[in-house]
Amino acid sequence: MIVSEGTILVDARRAAILAPWLTAIARNYTRDGGVLDPSVVELLHEFERVGRAYRTSSAIGTSGIPVESTADMVDTWISTTEADRRLGCTPRAVTARIHRRTLSATRVGNRWLIDPITLEET
């Protein structure tokens, strides 16, 4: 990690370790009624992106990195039905946005799961 006058550079390994923790903190904050600043949401997504790239590209050093399990995702992420309720549209419209990549989601079995944090951006 490099720190210099208002800037912190975090390597990919540390981003992979921090991303799930920061996401969980943000998720709890929003669940309790808090609203995340758009710059914080952007930072969380960057940590997740860099961490995901590190985990998939490196066979060395990936053990011990906390990765959110599918069971955790099912418990904390929301369905297309819940997303459509929050966005005020149909489940089909939510699925169409997922396919157009304007809404980030993860496929688990035959369902799409959407991280509530990404829903705040829309």
How confident is the model over 13-47, as pLDDT tens digits?
788 778 888 888 888 888 878 888 888 888 888 88
> What confidence score (pLDDT) does residue 64 get?
45
43/79 same-domain check: no
Domain that holds residue 20: 1-67
Strand partners, 78: 114
Q: pLDDT tens digits for 63-112?
A: 444 444 444 554 578 888 889 998 999 989 999 998 888 888 877 777 88
6/53 same-domain check: yes
Task: Please tell me the total count of domains within the chain.
Answer: 2
55/84 same-domain check: no
Residue 14: both structure tokens together: 């540390």
Final residue of a structural domain among 43, 67, 91 = 67
Site of tokens 């960057």? 46
CATH number, domain containing residue 85: 1.10.1660
43/5 same-domain check: yes
Smallest CA-to-CA distance from 55 within 93, 92, 3, 18 is with 18
Residue 9: both structure tokens together: 């550079």
Scanning the chain, the segments in alpha helix (DSSP H) are: 12-31, 38-57, 70-76, 80-87, 91-99, 116-121
61/44 same-domain check: yes
Smallest CA-to-CA distance from 66 within 43, 47, 42, 39 is with 47
Is the separation of the CB atoms in 88 and 121 below 8 Å?
Answer: no
| pTM reported for the whole predicted model | 0.45
The Cα 90–Cα 93 span in angstroms is 5
112/53 same-domain check: no
